[in-house]
Amino acid sequence: MRLRHIPGAEEAIASSPYVIQQPAEYRGRFHELFGNHNPIRIEVGMGKGRFIMEMAARNPQVNFIGIERYSSVLLRALQKRAELELPNIFFMCVDAKELAEIFEPGEIEKIYLNFSDPWPKDRHAKRRLTSPDFMKVYDQVLCGDGTVEFKTDNQGLFAYSLEAIPEAGWRIDAFTEDLHHSPMAEGNVMTEYEMKFSAMGNPICKLIASR
């Protein structure tokens, strides 16, 4: 994925009070950062942050951490975050592969994967966020009854995920290939991409997985 670099993005992120600068230092004690022992949910690849900020606003009893590896994208989220008064959300600029080094086993209640890069070429399959390699990482940080929720408009990626996730030892608890016309739509919060693709008439796929 190639993104236009925004000059000053790294500096803005490094000085932002909304970004956890040394996340591994909070491993096992993120409750100190939030000032409470509420459950923690993370979004991997949060993009511009519409979804996770809306989730934080709707669920003040839950702590949220948005993870975005691209600084220019995270900068957009910071600009939105500055307009909101939400004590229960922070961001990280890290790679999802590092999650097990950042969070203790069982520290996370739920992981959201929304409109992840499909990496369509077979040789790039390991980079997909629903690949067995990444599911192993999620297994290390989720609590015993923790879940992964995945949404995409990419039919190929969804079909791959329906096979790859069980192969990694997980079970698919629920899924739909047309989210907005299914019972799973109740309480759904849309991302920027979801709004765009829905307006184009593209059906949205969703699954929920657990161990």
Between CA 25 and CA 102 the distance in angstroms is 8
Helix (H, G, I), strand (E, B) or coil at 170: coil
43-76 CB burial, b ≥16 within 10 A, e <16: bbbbbbbbbbbebbeeeeebbbbbbbbbbbbbbb
Backbone angles phi, psi at 206, to 5 degrees: -145, 145
Active-site entry in 95, 117, 122, 153: 117
Question: Cβ atoms within 10 A of the Cβ of 178, count?
Answer: 12
Cα dihedral 146, 197, 84, 92 sign? positive
Active site residue 117: yes
Strands (E), 68-107: 89-92
Alpha-carbon distance of 82 to 103, in angstroms, equals 26
Active-site residue set: 117
